[in-house]
Structure 1
């Protein structure tokens, strides 16, 4: 069994193939966290706590004699405010108008086969019968009828444990939640490094590693989305952990709104990590009989370094988080018209691009922003989701039918959450936006945010999305969101807790997406928020791929893809070949290099195909052929970071290896040139040691390729590249 409870020791043991997680109910009924790490036996690790009478570390109210017993340094499973613990908390709650204080004690537990569910929220699911066990532990405040249930989903073979919590008010009074995070994780000791992924628009998920200092370190977003700036995924690891060696703990928050991850290194060098909803403005009123459920987080541990940790997250998310019927199908190779035309298009321009796409062997044309309302720039029209037939010169169905007749599927861009002030929707329903009464709204990209906490707004969105997708044979949607959520005030009910609106907004977003996918189950949904502003595990539950960044420069994408790969499947990375000079930074790179970079993820083009030279068209055909022949390898193979673009400024290398290890690819992009260059030798990973592999007509053993490596051809121009497909013989 993956979950065991020793009644004599009051000890819970959660076991995966390569990790053990342990909790203990002590003599006071407090749930302690005693171990998480490499596989261990059922030893009670609470012997490591080491009670001590520490100055200024007090005792809970029912402990009047033992001054060595203190919540201020004991490792706790779900830390709360009010029991003498002064470290960062997972829960701050209490009766409305009173001091917020809890003292949680163990009540009961339940063991179930299968995976618990979180209604209205994304979560990992059981993909194969019997692969998950659920543990529910119920705690209660020592004095009041406030209950907390901790949820654990143990994916034994995937080496993943999921966490969530519910807070139930069984008292006769209103309860106020000021913080309700998904979990806490205490380490009794540790000199650990923190790896996180910061960024900006057009520069997301930049890898950063530093030693965790004493005090509180926070990674968070209060922008209403997971954000370009900080990703809801972090790693704690030993100082000497590498790609292939050492302890590493990953934490991934499965949510698409604001979040908070705090880590505190305390007075005795213990480390606490808490993770959950952003609580800067959070205030949730829980009436008698009501329950609040937190979003889910996923934990994974590896003693074999960062590569193994990433592989565990990638495989679990591919199999147990992404629900789309497209996850195991070949994703369509597509061309998006945005960088080719921006707002200046009509049907004939689009059909010209479509004709070129069909000639090159692509699968789909995607029509981006500007097809609806009075939308000729980004200052107007959002919210008026009716086809601008005057601009197109035909109906949407006529355009789509003509594209389909060329042998291409058709996709479309939507930004349902936003509205322009210059729109019929805003003029009719100005109260439908998030806006503080009596103040000029904070604008971003000249658009405002619709209030998804309102049912009538959600129903409007559901209808226009369904109407749009039903008017023609549309098989793909790029769902964009181009500003942060600000001025958070809902006009629907001024008495409503404004601190609840941010979370209600995200719940509303999930409801609308769920409705769209229920009505159109075969739809391929691509997430987007100005590129990678909402690239998170919550979005993967609805969209199997996400536009990774608005920055399409191949060289800058190397760092963006590198950071993304630590916590997300590479099949979820939407990546396109764009024009040069690049529209974001003006860099010029070879067409071949742009294609190799884009083939790290779901592959496509973002340019005017009719303007390609014959040489580039020939290269595009070759790229499309390579992708079509190897799509299973790129979408479901194991991904290996062979070096770091953050450290190596000469080249970046990566590879894919198929599940059966019979097929692989190696890609190298040069990022600098030198006179009299030294040889570049790249060692592969993940192959069969004793197998023989064909590499461009030369046979090598797996051992040779992994121990000695391949000698990579010298670059012949700036940003030159090399890619080879490898087959077992």
Structure 2
């Protein structure tokens, strides 16, 4: 039987799959676009030798490696019959459906069917791949990997993500070595700890140059990942739902999609693909033509101490600073004076709001701001009316360890979803609300995939009935960020940390996947509530202006100078937000590790802004030149230091940008770079560029 060969490609990359003898196919090539290749010759060329100590043939590293074919690595499917017997299928080809830039392959073994789908988006270059399994008889499914991709051989290390509350998106390198790097996130949410992605750079790759492969698993309910190097040197990457989170027998199951991309422009090539795909293909915008509004959240100003006169005063001050949306955070419902009570009782607190929310919303509307509100629908306090009436609606044992004094609703229960829909819909119907901050402040008592599916169902119903309401995914900050939740929301609260130094790093790493349009960043209090650090208003304002800008502090604390700086930066952000919304965020390769820098490049390449944050004291005395990227080498650019007034007395020299604009070629900017003035740590230079 001739090998079966399938080739998907776009202007950037090719994906070639080969199946032998009707077996599941292998991905034999994933990389830079192939042109004019003899694919049958490629299939033959991919066959590997065997030697002593090996089987007489290499078991295929297929898109779902099968233990029954003597594959000694991790299998892509682990399932059991109802009696407990292991199921070890040997799938055989059934059908292939080929479309423009898409492929669907189906295989079967008796009553068990496996389907894998692949599609390449020709504009964003993202490959979307998904697997499904169906069975004539119920089975227990312990693990199903999304279609398995090979990892590159000329790669010395891989990068995944660790983190914690107020410390998300920490990139961590792992050397390739024989064996398995495994990650098993069983928190029941995407997690601060393990963003579901991996980056696979070829040797020598940087932010701006070299080959990088990347994969992201778009699922919000806890995942597993393994990167395995077999004894023969082959490498595989598997992603799927956290194992054994389907406790009941099933007859059908779909993995979440894998979003994969190859770049020959370093990490930035992957970043721009993910940013564009999320913004343009995943997120659905309630107000697609409306500029992203400057956001104000009252949490770190008042916490639970809601007072209508104070909130009106705060709203007036926020509007004067430039805010266009006011979000009422936790504390407006039940008897919610602290975090021990009332979650689940989504009725307005008459003690704090005797006339309902109308007077506050009316005041906010007179200030020409829209109104948003906080919910945490998936959670319930034991001290709540709804828990006392329905303790059986909570997930897990009654004596479980609480988190933030709360338990979790069983979102797989249709009665729970119906109750929550009614409570939320009543508020959205009664008031003019265009934004929900949707929070999720504790991990599950045990991992259960049906919890995420239930939450998706509730979100989908609310969005269908209230299509003009924007929703933010917040989970103690960045605990639930992935392409699955972003298909149902339009903004993420990247971290509960409003410390500008911490956010500078978090935003920098998250930009590998997230565009400006969805990434909330707020100017926090002078004295940061999560780090204790005191940071100047200039740094706080410019870090927020690098993403979807907002404020989250008490504006009554601002001095006249601080208020003036914040008005100025906010006005700058409003003047630039429309082109920045569609700009690519490119991480720069800084010669000084103390400087975290990025370049936001307009879609047409005609303008850009560089944010160069000083995160620490430099080892050398003077700033090292900062190279830019992705410019036209022969074009000339006018360069302007937007905040030259932030230079301090210790900057005693006369670099050009302190006094005048600079006009140079793209070649100079990319090969030599910009000399910036000297600065203290915890400061930011903002450089504007325009192609002439």
- Measured against the shorter chain, the TM-score band is over 0.9
Of residues 519, 523, 527 in structure 2, which corresponds to 1:573? Answer: 519
> What are the residue-to-residue correspondences of 1:452-491 with 2, within 5 Å?
452-487=411-446
Query: In the alignment, which residue of structure 1 is the partner of 2:649?
Result: none
2:207 and 2:589 in contact (8 A); partners too: no
Query: In the alignment, which residue of structure 2 is the partner of 1:504?
Result: 450
Distance 1:51 1:108 in 2: 30
> What are the residue-to-residue correspondences of 1:174-213 with 2, within 5 Å?
174-187=138-151, 189-213=153-177
**Structure 1 position 56, deviation (Å):** 6.5
Of residues 294, 303, 306 in structure 2, which corresponds to 1:333? Answer: 294
Query: In the alignment, which residue of structure 1 is the partner of 2:607?
Result: 663
Query: In the alignment, which residue of structure 1 is the partner of 2:373?
Result: 412
Q: Secondary structure at the match of 2:464?
A: helix
Distance 2:599 2:208 in 1: 15
Q: Runs of 4+ in structure 1 displaced over 6 angstroms?
A: none
> What are the residue-to-residue correspondences of 1:96-115 with 2, within 5 Å?
96-97=82-83, 98-112=85-99
**Structure 1 position 714, deviation (Å):** 1.6
1:347 and 1:393 in contact (8 A); partners too: no
Gapped runs of 5+ residues in structure 1? Answer: 1-6, 58-67, 114-132, 489-501
The reply on whether 1:692 has 2:636 as its aligned counterpart is yes
1:222 and 1:280 in contact (8 A); partners too: no
Of residues 20, 30, 52 in structure 1, which corresponds to 2:14? Answer: 20
**Structure 1 position 188, deviation (Å):** 8.0
Distance 2:620 2:204 in 1: 34
Distance 1:137 1:420 in 2: 47
Query: In the alignment, which residue of structure 1 is the partner of 2:46?
Result: 48
Query: In the alignment, which residue of structure 2 is the partner of 1:3?
Result: none
Q: CA 1:643–1:598 in 2, change beyond 3 Å: closer, same or farther?
A: farther
Of residues 69, 88, 100 in structure 2, which corresponds to 1:83? Answer: 69
**Structure 1 position 265, deviation (Å):** 0.4
The reply on whether 1:548 has 2:494 as its aligned counterpart is yes
**Structure 1 position 632, deviation (Å):** 2.1
Distance 1:448 1:608 in 2: 31
Distance 1:345 1:187 in 2: 53
Q: CA 1:100–1:56 in 2, change beyond 3 Å: closer, same or farther?
A: farther
1:189 and 1:268 in contact (8 A); partners too: no
**Structure 1 position 15, deviation (Å):** 1.0
The reply on whether 1:627 has 2:573 as its aligned counterpart is yes
Distance 1:680 1:191 in 2: 29
Q: Which moved more, 1:88-97 or 1:686-695?
A: 686-695
2:24 and 2:92 in contact (8 A); partners too: yes
Measured on the aligned residues, the alpha-carbon RMSD in Å equals 2.0
Distance 1:188 1:194 in 2: 10
Distance 1:629 1:168 in 2: 53
Of residues 201, 207, 222 in structure 2, which corresponds to 1:258? Answer: 222
Of residues 357, 360, 367 in structure 2, which corresponds to 1:399? Answer: 360
Distance 1:542 1:571 in 2: 15
Distance 1:213 1:558 in 2: 32
Q: Which moved more, 1:625-634 or 1:690-699?
A: 690-699
Distance 2:2 2:220 in 1: 42
Of residues 180, 200, 212 in structure 2, which corresponds to 1:236? Answer: 200
**Structure 1 position 179, deviation (Å):** 1.0
Q: Which moved more, 1:620-629 or 1:39-48?
A: 39-48
**Structure 1 position 280, deviation (Å):** 4.3
- State the TM-score, normalizing by the size of structure 2: 0.92
Q: Secondary structure at the match of 1:639?
A: strand
**Structure 1 position 548, deviation (Å):** 0.3
1:655 and 1:667 in contact (8 A); partners too: yes
1:20 and 1:35 in contact (8 A); partners too: yes
Of residues 115, 120, 124 in structure 2, which corresponds to 1:158? Answer: 124
1:181 and 1:294 in contact (8 A); partners too: yes
Q: Secondary structure at the match of 1:681?
A: coil
Query: In the alignment, which residue of structure 1 is the partner of 2:652?
Result: none
Gapped runs of 5+ residues in structure 2? Answer: 641-660
> What are the residue-to-residue correspondences of 1:599-638 with 2, within 5 Å?
599-638=545-584
**Structure 1 position 470, deviation (Å):** 1.4
Query: In the alignment, which residue of structure 2 is the partner of 1:496?
Result: none
**Structure 1 position 162, deviation (Å):** 0.8
**Structure 1 position 195, deviation (Å):** 0.7
Q: Encode CA deviations 1:300-328: one digit per residue, 9 max, x unaligned.
A: 11122111111111112211111123466
> What are the residue-to-residue correspondences of 1:211-226 with 2, within 5 Å?
211-226=175-190
**Structure 1 position 677, deviation (Å):** 2.1
1:532 and 1:548 in contact (8 A); partners too: yes
Query: In the alignment, which residue of structure 1 is the partner of 2:543?
Result: 597
Q: Secondary structure at the match of 1:389?
A: coil
Q: Secondary structure at the match of 1:179?
A: strand
Q: CA 1:393–1:714 in 2, change beyond 3 Å: closer, same or farther?
A: farther
Distance 1:327 1:427 in 2: 42
**Structure 1 position 725, deviation (Å):** 2.4
1:25 and 1:31 in contact (8 A); partners too: yes
**Structure 1 position 620, deviation (Å):** 0.9
2:80 and 2:86 in contact (8 A); partners too: yes
Distance 2:262 2:440 in 1: 33
